[in-house]
């Protein structure tokens, strides 16, 4: 017989603040100048999660799949803005990041739904979509940041290839591949050691909810595969879009602004 998960009540949640207080005390004692940031982050996280929980309660009960998809779209827009900041200096970085996140997330999520891997219930689509969008956001941000670094560091090499008659795409291809490799390494490494170093979030949540470990493993395998797809597709789309903004009409590499000044 499956035991019901014992979820902490609100007094229990309040009691967990002792962990935040301890962390803040250590930061203050060690003069890390992070005490205020830690406290603000803790309060902000609590407020945001309560607000999101209330909204999701409405989405799950009243809006169904359309509401769930609308929520995923909102997550994509926010993720695009966050990832775009990693590519600060690139022309239209936010647009490149948003397109990348949207491309990777939509293809991955739609594939899972069409193949009946996940159900179309809002309470399934929203958390699964959140994991997909988050993974796509991280890989996109890493890829765009690497592009910025390569454009500045390898400018002479790119211009040399242009001078030899190569197209803008061929001249920049080695740098694009480098950015993609950098973006995909964290996801690949996580997939290699899944279950050996730590139990991933989806599997842990199901086990805590009383689901049989072998059943939880099936869901986690799907999660790892979908995250690999989302990270790859998102980083690829973002770098391709960003590449188009790095060259002018005469196929000359643009000069990026120096944001360190």
Distance CA(255)–CA(89), nearest Å, equals 9
The structure tokens 């891997």 sit at 117
Burial letters 15-26, b for 16+ CB under 10 A, else e: eeeeebeeebee
The structure tokens 């996580």 sit at 190
Distance CA(196)–CA(190), nearest Å, equals 10
Taking the whole predicted model, whether its pTM rises above 0.75 is answered as: yes
pLDDT of residue 12: 87
pLDDT of residue 151: 83
**Under DSSP, is residue 256 helix (H, G, I), strand (E, B) or coil?**
coil
DSSP codes of every residue in 79-130: HHHHHHHHTTTSTTHHHHHHHHHHHHHHHHHHHHHHTTSS---HHHHHHHHH
pLDDT of residue 215: 81
For the segment 178-232, what is each residue's pLDDT rounded down to a tens digit? 999 999 998 888 888 876 666 666 777 777 777 788 888 888 888 889 999 999 9
Provide, rounded to the nearest whole percent, the portion of the chain with pLDDT above 70.
93
For the segment 123-164, what is each residue's pLDDT rounded down to a tens digit? 889 999 999 999 999 999 999 999 888 888 878 888 888 888
Beta bridge partners of 253: 247
């Amino acid at each position: 017989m499956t035991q019901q998960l014992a979820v902490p009540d609100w007094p229990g949640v309040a009691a967990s603040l002792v962990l935040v207080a301890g962390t803040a005390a250590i930061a203050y004692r060690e003069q890390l100048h992070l005490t205020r940031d830690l406290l603000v982050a803790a309060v902000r996280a609590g407020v945001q999660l309560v607000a999101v929980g209330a909204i999701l309660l409405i989405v799950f009960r009243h809006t169904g799949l359309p509401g769930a998809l609308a929520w995923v779209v909102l997550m994509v827009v926010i993720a695009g803005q966050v990832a775009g900041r990693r590519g600060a200096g690139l022309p239209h970085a936010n647009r490149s990041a948003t397109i990348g996140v949207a491309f990777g997330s939509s293809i991955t999520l739609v594939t899972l739904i069409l193949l009946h891997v996940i159900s179309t219930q809002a309470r399934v689509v929203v958390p699964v979509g959140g994991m997909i969008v988050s993974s796509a956001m991280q890989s996109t941000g890493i890829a765009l940041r690497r592009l910025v670094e390569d454009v500045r560091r390898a400018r002479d090499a790119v211009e040399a290839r242009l001078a030899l008659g190569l197209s803008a795409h061929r001249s920049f291809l080695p740098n694009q591949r480098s950015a993609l490799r950098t973006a995909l390494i964290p996801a690949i490494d996580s997939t290699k050691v899944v279950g050996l170093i730590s139990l991933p979030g989806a599997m842990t949540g199901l086990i805590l909810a009383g689901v049989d470990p072998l059943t939880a493993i099936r869901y986690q395998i799907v999660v790892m595969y979908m995250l690999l797809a989302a990270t790859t597709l998102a980083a690829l789309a973002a770098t391709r879009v960003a590449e188009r903004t790095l060259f002018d009409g005469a196929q000359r590499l643009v000069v990026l602004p120096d944001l360190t000044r």
